[in-house]
Amino acid sequence: MENINRVVLIGTGAVGCSYAYSMINQGVAEELVLIDVNEAKAEGEVMDLNHGMPFAPSPINVWHGSYRDCETADLVVITAGLPQKPGETRLELVEKNAKIFKQIIQNVMNSKFNGIFLVATNPVDILTYVTWKVSGLPKERVIGSGTVLDSARLRFAIGQYLKVDTRNVHAAIIGEHGDTELPVWSHAAVGIEPLKTVLENKKEISKECLQDIFVSVRDAAYHIIERKGATFYGIGMSLVRITKAILNNENSILTVSSYLNGEYGHSDVYVGVPAIINRSGIREIIELKLTEKEKTQFDHSVNVLKETMKPVIS
Ligand SMILES: NC(=O)c1ccc[n+]([C@@H]2O[C@H](COP(=O)([O-])OP(=O)(O)OC[C@H]3O[C@@H](n4cnc5c(N)ncnc54)[C@H](O)[C@@H]3O)[C@@H](O)[C@H]2O)c1
């Protein structure tokens, strides 16, 4: 029984179900429990997902459960809450979702849960902080999806632009998962070549192109929401990537929302920064040497987050 990985997913909306679908198709974990305040919805999703099981790469036991199932869970993933409305910023969602979260975390902890939390609900950095506070778990075991999706969007866009496999593009977005996030151009690389060198050799690509790429990435959620009402596949796959890093003890580097305790000159805040992820959660935060401009942008992002979370944590 010791080798059985149990993941509990709370929130079976568009994001939660994209995650569950990806988990099954990638054969991650042995048990996946679905919980939602809308019980019929969770039940229906389980039925539908289970009907694809003959085609999954490995068996996975999926059921509609309750908070009691969290007791022996290795990972609880939270995608429950209200989604962003067209034109609404992620930070505007804060008070509504913080209230929902406090109740959910208490329900999970009442089960004697002692695993790792992974939070995706927006505003993700603030709700990860709320999860850490309410759960009382060590900061290393409370993780937010942070800027993992944003970094993936950036890697995809650069790959498209340079006509290079996106998996060979190494670039990160850090800061708040939202309007104040920033690209760390100073550390971006294509294959093993710094992006700066690639650009010097390709005169047709200007610095302005990079700024356009970043703006399209930063505003991607707004553009997608305008067209289809919500974003869910990209985040679903990002959450599976983090899940694999945890359950497989990968020591992978991902820009998750992590608790800063002096790193980057900030404390008592969750924000997207590169961190090494393994079976114990966040093993280590990687402190990048930022340029002055990047540091100023990062400080601004953290300050905006801190200001916004004030009413929620007091
Ligand atoms: N972190 C990211 O990069 C990222 C990306 C996309 C979306 N999101 C966020 O993910 C969240 C979910 O988005 P969605 O599109 O799946 O929304 P959705 O409305 O489709 O699903 C939300 C689900 O949460 C459930 N829910 C609400 N209150 C609950 C409670 N108290 N207990 C259990 N379940 C509850 C609802 O019944 C619903 O099924 C939103 O906050 C959205 O902004 C985050």
How far does residue 170's CA lie from ligand 1's centre (Å)?
A: 29
* pLDDT beneath 50: ranges in the chain: none
C-alpha 46 to ligand 1 mean position (Å) = 17
C-beta separation of 89 from 221 below 8 A: no
Dihedral of CA 162/164/168/174: which sign? positive
Closest CA to 13 of 79, 61, 90, 107: 79
Q: Answer yes or no: is the C-beta of 128 below 6 A from any ligand 1 atom.
A: no
- The pLDDT assigned to 204 comes to 65
Alpha carbon dihedral 221, 77, 133, 177, in 10-degree steps, equals -20
**pLDDT of res. 278:** 98
Residue-level pLDDT at 200? 85
Give the pLDDT score at 90. 66
pLDDT of residue 2: 62
The rounded Å distance from CA 11 to ligand 1 centre is 6
Distance CA 118, CA 256 (A): 10
Give the model's pLDDT for residue 46.
98
Name beta bridge partners: 33. 8, 63
Active site residue 177: yes
The pLDDT value recorded for residue 183 is: 97
Regarding the beta carbon of 64 and ligand 1, being less than 6 Å apart is answered no
